[in-house]
Amino acid sequence: MDAGVIWDTVVLSPMINVLIVISDYLLNSFGLTIIIFTMIIRGVMYPLTRRQLKASKGMQELQPKIAEIRKKFAKDKQRRAKEEMALMKQSGVSPAGCLLPMLIQMPVWIALYQSIIRVLAATPEEFLNLSRHLYDTWPQVFYLVPLESKFLWLDLSVPDTMMLMPILVGGSMWLQQKMMTPESADPAQQAQGRMMLWMMPLMFAFFTLQFPSGLALYWVASNIISIVMQYFISGWGGLSTLFGGRKVEDTRKPPKRYAPIEYKQTGKHAGDADIVVARPSEEEGSDDETTGDQREDRGRGYSDSYESTKRQSRRDKGRRPKRR
Amino acid sequence: MKNGHKRVLLILALLLVGVMTVSGCTTAGRQMAQGWAGGVVSDGTIFVGSMEGKLVALGVSDGNLRGDPITLVAQAQSSGFGCVPTGSSAVAVYGSPVVNGDLVYIGGYDGKVRAYLFESGRLRAEPRWISRQGDIGGSIIGGLIVADGRIYFGASDGIVYALDAVDGHKLWTFETGSKIWSTPTVEGDTLFIGGFDHKLYALNTADGTQKWVFETEGTIVSTPVVSGGRVYIGSFDRRVYAVDTTSGGEVWRFPETDDEVDTPIGWFWATLLVHNGAVYAPNLDGKVYVIDATSGNRISDFDLEGPISSAPVLVNDRVIVATTSTNRAKQEGKVFALDTTSRQQTMLQDFEESIHAPLFADGTTVYVHTMENFLYAIDTETGAGRKYTLSAETSE
């Protein structure tokens, strides 16, 4: 059995049939079905999304320290990498925490995309193809297809002629990107942030001009859900600057504060130093066995290494190396 | 976030978009309208709509072209992206061409009907007329019917049209509730046509007014068949219906319920065929159900083990029917002869090409237009075949 058949059987066909059946309970409105189905899928994927967002936030918070390490070990790449890894390990943050959940979610997004495209069959070829996915034992799916493609002002099977969907897709994606983009003093990072902020929304807005508006509806719904999830997990993020130019503090959790980086002289060469991350005082007493994510859930952080950090600080007292 | 990680995220995002875009242009996702027109044989000439959006005329005896193939051209919307073509492009053709006197008519996916002159054994490249821009608002998937100097057809805008066969002027329209992909049937002064709104309509051919409407539980794309005062129709609700042509009342339905043993499990997409008191109903589940035309009871079925979407034809008491591939990855098509007397099935040809186009016949020869754009002529008596290459303008 080839991969395409397995994909169709295990992922695509179930999703298509469920999508059709859901529409039966939503007044045969495929527009509502797309929204509800997107909510369900995003709800199921929430633990992964949450993990990804938290990891991203953790990475953002480490940026000042990473920048310092880069500055410090600009000429020693090996050491720089080692120190960065040590910092991340100590902080309970890993790049894989950002990427892995995203990679796991990607097939689901693609399946959802393909399901919507399949159900919105417009050409005779697409209809015949859709018939291959329908479950013989679910009679209602045979009666319900094709689904009603009219929703609000849209014909979901064709691009939006009123051009509102490209604006909604681009706008919602911009908001989501803005929330994710951290403020940075580094001009290079600022430029990259700006590029990310504008490029993806513009690209998707452009795609919306070409694709059926049913898919655009899915993108808008998905973006809005992402914005809501992101708000509850990591606050307004980059959007806070939009509120009258004043940064809005996320008051739901105490913000983490890091003490200045301390370096322990261990070698003879210039720049050879170990980094010690000091802990916020309110994090004392945390369970040493918990993971970085779990610690963040309780509004605490990184305490597994706090005691050792304190011990380290005591041992190294008075031996802070001079910055070069 | 680290620059490197951002770059990775960006690449992943682009990859996702790339996958979506690519899958949107290929058979893995959106499928572009390719067309699958059948054809007609008239006075020793085959007229067929090719997969390249061309109207092709070939001599039956020699396979030579009767005039240059005519490309049906549409002005595509400018997009500048992906698989959507820009500028002019060939129009997909699903409905078979029809011949009336010296005019050949063909309907396109661009929603236009074109009439071409066939005189002195040659197809003229300049159209006699093309239906006016804006006259028809939807793609034409079903075929055209010419009767009493008029052309009748339904379009994806949900409207049934009647045009003057001589000059293409619109005579009347009838609006249904949804798309129409079904080819109409005209019997006397009544036109029958099914739609996506699950309904079978009976209209007056004179003015397009409704005589009656009959509702099934599924979409109708198959062509209604009229015989013995009844109109027979297959539906996506996996049933075949017999309806009284005068009153529009249901005579029977097959199967009566979904709980019956061995009920059809696919859509009735292809046109039914009525012969000798039996209805032959091809289904996408790979079977041809044989139903008593009077009672609606099942007589038997032929299991051909492949979806049937192309319309069958009757040749000398044998139903000639084609199956197509069961999955998208594998291209295959088989042509069978079903003996209506002995109920025996014989495979005539086995192709490595899918078949969706309606079959058409001339005498004992059946023509099969495959999705690879070949036209095969099969002698149903001997099984001998001949292959016409429609795209290369030659025959083998």
Summarised one tens digit per residue, pLDDT across range B206-218 is: 999 999 999 999 9
Q: Token pair 């066969």 is at which residue?
A: B165
> Beta-carbon neighbour count of residue A228 at 10 Å?
11
Residue B36 structure tokens: 């699958």
A32 and A151 Cβ atoms separated by less than 8 Å: yes
Mark yes or no for CB contact B8/A99 under 8 Å.
Answer: yes
Query: What is the pLDDT averaged over residues B35-48?
Result: 94
Q: Token pair 């009871």 is at which residue?
A: B297
Query: What is the pLDDT averaged over residues A53-63?
Result: 75
Query: What is the pLDDT averaged over residues A169-182?
Result: 82
Nearest CA distance, B151 vs chain A (angstrom): 23
DSSP string over B174-208: EE-SS---SPPEEETTEEEEE-TTSEEEEEETTT-
Q: Is B22 on the interface with A (CB under 8 A)?
A: no
Mark yes or no for CB contact A59/B219 under 8 Å.
Answer: no
For residue B270, what is the nearest residue in chain A, using CA coordinates? Answer: A128
For residue A64, what is the nearest residue in chain B, using CA coordinates? Answer: B1
Q: Which residues contact B125 (CB under 8 A, 6 or more apart)?
A: B67, B68, B70, B116
**By three-state DSSP, how is residue B156 classified?**
coil
Query: What is the pLDDT averaged over residues B72-77?
Result: 68
For residue A84, what is the nearest residue in chain B, using CA coordinates? Answer: B2
Residue B243, domain member (yes or no): no
Q: How far is the CA of B139 from the CAs of A12, B8, B108, B178, in angstroms?
A: 29, 43, 7, 13
Residue B23, domain member (yes or no): no
* pLDDT at site B215: 97
DSSP string over A141-198: HHHHPSPB-EETTEETTS--TTSHHHHHHHHHHHHHHHHHPPP-S-HHHHHHHHHHHH
Q: Is B181 on the interface with A (CB under 8 A)?
A: yes
B46 and B99 Cβ atoms separated by less than 8 Å: no
Of residues B5, B13, B36, nearest to A98 (C-beta): B5
Q: Which residues contact A44 (CB under 8 A, 6 or more apart)?
A: none
Residue B232, domain member (yes or no): no
Interface test with B, best of A126, A196, A210 (most B CBs within 10 A): A210
Q: Quick check: B99 pLDDT over 90?
A: yes
| CA–CA distance, B237 with B268 (Å, rounded to integer) | 8
Select from B98, B130, B162 the last residue of a domain.
B130
Nearest CA distance, A310 vs chain B (angstrom): 28
Q: Which residues contact B100 (CB under 8 A, 6 or more apart)?
A: B146, B165
ipTM (interface pTM):
0.86
**By three-state DSSP, how is residue B315 classified?**
strand
Nearest CA distance, A253 vs chain B (angstrom): 21
For residue B327, what is the nearest residue in chain A, using CA coordinates? Answer: A132
What is the signed CA dihedral for B234, B219, B195, A130, rounded to 10 degrees?
Answer: -110
Percentage of chain A lying above the pLDDT 90 cut: 8
Of residues B1, B6, B79, nearest to A210 (C-beta): B79
Q: Is B31 on the interface with A (CB under 8 A)?
A: yes
Residue B386 structure tokens: 């001949």
Q: Is B266 on the interface with A (CB under 8 A)?
A: yes
Question: Partners of B337 in the beta sheet?
Answer: B320, B346
Question: Partners of B241 in the beta sheet?
Answer: B233, B253
Q: What is the arrangement of strands in the sheet containing B190-194, beginning at the earlier edge strand?
A: B185-187, B190-194, B199-204, B210-215
Of residues A125, A188, A196, nearest to B10 (C-beta): A196
Query: Is this prediction's pTM over 0.80?
Result: no
Taking contacts as CB-CB distances below 8 angstroms, the residues of chain B near A94 are none
Taking contacts as CB-CB distances below 8 angstroms, the residues of chain B near A96 are none
Nearest CA distance, B240 vs chain A (angstrom): 14
B100 and B117 Cβ atoms separated by less than 8 Å: no
Residue B165, domain member (yes or no): no
Q: Is B36 on the interface with A (CB under 8 A)?
A: yes
* pLDDT at site B9: 62
How many angstroms separate the most distant Cα atoms in chain A? Answer: 80
Q: Count of residues for chain B?
A: 396
DSSP string over B238-283: S-EEEEETTT--EEEEESSSTTSTT---S---SPPEEETTEEEEE-
**By three-state DSSP, how is residue B223 classified?**
coil
CA torsion through residues A265, A268, A271, A275, sign: negative
Of residues B141, B265, B329, nearest to A124 (C-beta): B141
Percentage of chain B lying above the pLDDT 90 cut: 74
- Print burial letters for B316-354: b (CB count within 10 Å at least 16), e (below 16): eebbbbbbbbeebeebbbbbbbbebeeeebeebbebebb
Taking contacts as CB-CB distances below 8 angstroms, the residues of chain A near B265 are 136
User: Domain limits of chain A?
Assistant: 1-148, 150-252, 262-315
Q: What is the pLDDT of residues B107-146, one digit of tens each?
A: 999 999 999 999 999 999 999 999 876 677 789 999 999 9
Of residues A60, A117, A204, nearest to B1 (C-beta): A60
Mark yes or no for CB contact A125/B34 under 8 Å.
Answer: yes
Of residues A103, A129, A142, nearest to B328 (C-beta): A129
Prior bond to B282 cis, omega within 30? no
* pLDDT at site B149: 95
Q: What angle do CA A102, A103, A105 make, to 5 degrees?
A: 65
Q: Quick check: A286 pLDDT over 50?
A: no
Burial class (CB in 10 A: 0-12, 13-18, 19+), A185: exposed
DSSP string over A256-313: P--PPPEEEE-SSSTT-EEEE----GGGTT--TTS-HHHHHHTT---GGGHHHHHHHH
Q: How many domains does chain B have?
A: 2
Question: Partners of B104 in the beta sheet?
Answer: B99, B116
For residue B235, what is the nearest residue in chain A, using CA coordinates? Answer: A143
Residue B350, domain member (yes or no): yes
Mark yes or no for CB contact B219/A114 under 8 Å.
Answer: no
- Structural domain of B341: 313-396
Burial class (CB in 10 A: 0-12, 13-18, 19+), B9: middle
Prior bond to A146 cis, omega within 30? yes
* pLDDT at site A290: 37
- Residue window 97-126, chain B: list those with CB within 8 Å of chain A: none
Q: Taking all residues of chain B, what is their mean pLDDT, rounded to a whole number?
A: 88
Nearest CA distance, B101 vs chain A (angstrom): 31
The pLDDT confidence band at residue A154, using thresholds 50, 70 and 90, is: confident
Q: What is the pLDDT of residues B247-268, one digit of tens each?
A: 999 999 999 887 777 889 999 9
Give the H/E segment covering residue A230: helix A213-234
| CA–CA distance, A147 with A144 (Å, rounded to integer) | 6
Mark yes or no for CB contact A142/B237 under 8 Å.
Answer: yes
Q: What angle do CA B250, A145, B244 make, to 5 degrees?
A: 10
Taking contacts as CB-CB distances below 8 angstroms, the residues of chain B near A207 are 17, 20-21, 81
| CA–CA distance, A10 with A197 (Å, rounded to integer) | 36
| CA–CA distance, A55 with A52 (Å, rounded to integer) | 5
The pLDDT confidence band at residue A182, using thresholds 50, 70 and 90, is: low
Q: Is B217 on the interface with A (CB under 8 A)?
A: yes
B149 and B164 Cβ atoms separated by less than 8 Å: yes
Q: Token pair 């003490």 is at which residue?
A: A259
Strands (DSSP E) found in B298-352: 298-303, 313-315, 318-324, 333-339, 345-351
Of residues A114, A142, A204, nearest to B29 (C-beta): A114
CATH classification at residue B48: 2.40.10.480
